Amino acid sequence: MALIYFLVGLVASTLGAMAGLGGGIIIKPALDFLGHYDVTTIGILSAATVFSMACVSLINAARARIKVKGKISFVLALGSIAGGIFGKLTLNHLVGQIENQNIITVFQAGILATLMLVIFLFVKNKAKIETYQLHNIVIIFIVGFGLGTFSSFLGIGGGPLNMATLALAFSMSTKESTINSIFIIFFSQLASLAMTASTTGFADLDIQVLGFMIVGGGLGGLIGAVIYQRISNRQIEKVFNFTLLAILFLNIYNMVRYLI
């Protein structure tokens, strides 16, 4: 079982670092599919793995002199920290209020499936959609807050949502969106993990496979960062679109499975 979870972390993080997907967007439905852990534990496993990937990816980006969008990304990151805390508090509240955890899993899978469909349609038609160049600090912070809230509540890292938002709100290219998405993911997942550490803690969680997933996440971040530097925007878009569709169908399957 440890090998399976290592491979989940490795594959998800490789794709995450390579195409700005974050990894969590793959890890969350994959762990729901495996069905070994509850909602809270899956959130921690996903957040820690994605955080590991983001650390390695950002270190490699710094060495390659790949830079984020300065003030915009820092304000988005600050917003994502606040949103990450809010999203985690909201999830913890629901877990405490709803006895049947399957209901939360179905709810999360439904939101994820809807997001994946909307983002896929946006990416396929973005040439026809007007994009913007937001400069207002307050609005940028609110955008970051929304991204952090969704990523923390859903336990996904926020990758595809970040990518689509960065393209729409700031007219970033695919490669620009990728590195800036990972930068935002780093802070939102850090906030989520810090929130758990300072409230419920990790002692009551069954996280025996966490070490294997973190190693997989770090190695995937390294591999993905190398591939990212060697492929074109077009190739990244192909990987991004294929992965979105796979995640969409996996979440639909999880919804049906946990409803029955």
Q: What DSSP assignment string belongs to 183-200?
A: HHHHHHHHHHHHHHHHTT
Query: What is the Cα–Cα distance from 159 to 127, expressed in whole angstroms?
Result: 20
Q: Band of the pLDDT at 143, cuts 50, 70, 90?
A: very high
Domain locations along the chain: 2-259
Tell me the HSE value of 181 on the side-chain side, using a 13 A CA sphere: 33
Q: What is the pLDDT of residues 150-206, one digit of tens each?
A: 887 877 766 778 888 888 998 888 778 878 888 888 887 787 788 778 877 777 777
Q: What is the dihedral of CA 178, 179, 180, 186, to 10 degrees?
A: 110
Number of C-beta neighbours around residue 63 at 10 A = 9
What are the pLDDT digits (tens) for 66-103?
Answer: 777 778 888 988 998 898 888 888 888 888 888 887 88
How does the average pLDDT of the chain come out, rounded? 84
Measured CA to CA, the distance from residue 87 to residue 84 in angstroms comes to: 5
Return the pLDDT at 79.
Answer: 92
